[in-house]
Amino acid sequence: MNKEEFITSLRKELRKLPPEEIVSATEYYEEYFLEGAQDGEDAAAAETRLIQEIGSPKAVAAQIKAEYASRVLSGDETALKYKPTVGNKISAAWWVVLGVLAAPVGIPVAIALGAVIFALWVAVFAVIISLYAGSVGILAGGLAALVFGIISIVTSFSTALMCLGGGLALIALAALIGVGLTVLVKKIIHVPSRLAQKSMGKGGTDHE
């Protein structure tokens, strides 16, 4: 594989990124090839040596996409011209996973790390879903208490007052749990970006 084939393959692997990101990456590696040749070294030999140092276009693209995804997930405005959707964030998270696996940490370590992260995510989201379900139950209980309190006004004012107060308290608690869980989920979504940044910081070639 020569420089032109490497750049072409890299551009193909990065085709789902914004055009300006593709241009930035390909320009960086084109310059890398120009500056990486040693004095008196044959051009073809230099290209072969540099490609061996850089890695395959697919592995390089995985790290570039993971770097871009970490910016998306962290809300970096320079990486976004629009507000990211859930689908964008899922794609970004997947790019981060691929970037971690493509980083030079060794296949067994990467597989073990991926398995641990996946197990932790399943456990965390199972707890979060159960808490969301609990908050819905609390909300339903609060609404029922409000309805019962309104109905009880004509028969017992004290009972109605107690039910109305309890219902409002339950609704407030459900809202508090819902907001807290939403904030927690947003923070958890940022975990892949931090993992990718740490992984890519240990090795590999980053593009500016």
Digit-coded pLDDT (tens) for 6-64: 999 989 988 878 888 888 888 988 888 888 777 777 888 888 888 888 888 888 888 88
Alpha-carbon span 141 to 38, nearest angstrom: 74
Q: How far is Cα of residue 157 from the mean position of the Cα atoms in its chain?
A: 53
| Nearest residue to 110 (alpha-carbon basis) of 59, 71, 68, 54 | 59
Rg from Cα positions in the chain = 26
Digit-coded pLDDT (tens) for 75-118: 655 555 544 444 444 455 555 555 555 554 444 555 665 676 67
Q: How far is Cα of residue 123 from the mean position of the Cα atoms in its chain?
A: 18
Q: Among 76-80, 118-122, 151-155, 179-183, which stretch is predicted with the lowest mean pLDDT?
A: 76-80
Q: Which residue has the higher pLDDT, 93 or 3?
A: 3
Q: Which residue has the higher pLDDT, 133 or 72?
A: 133
Alpha-carbon span 4 to 104, nearest angstrom: 24
Two tokens at 179? Answer: 């907001």
Can you give the pLDDT at residue 9? 92
Can you give the pLDDT at residue 193? 52
Alpha-carbon span 142 to 145, nearest angstrom: 5
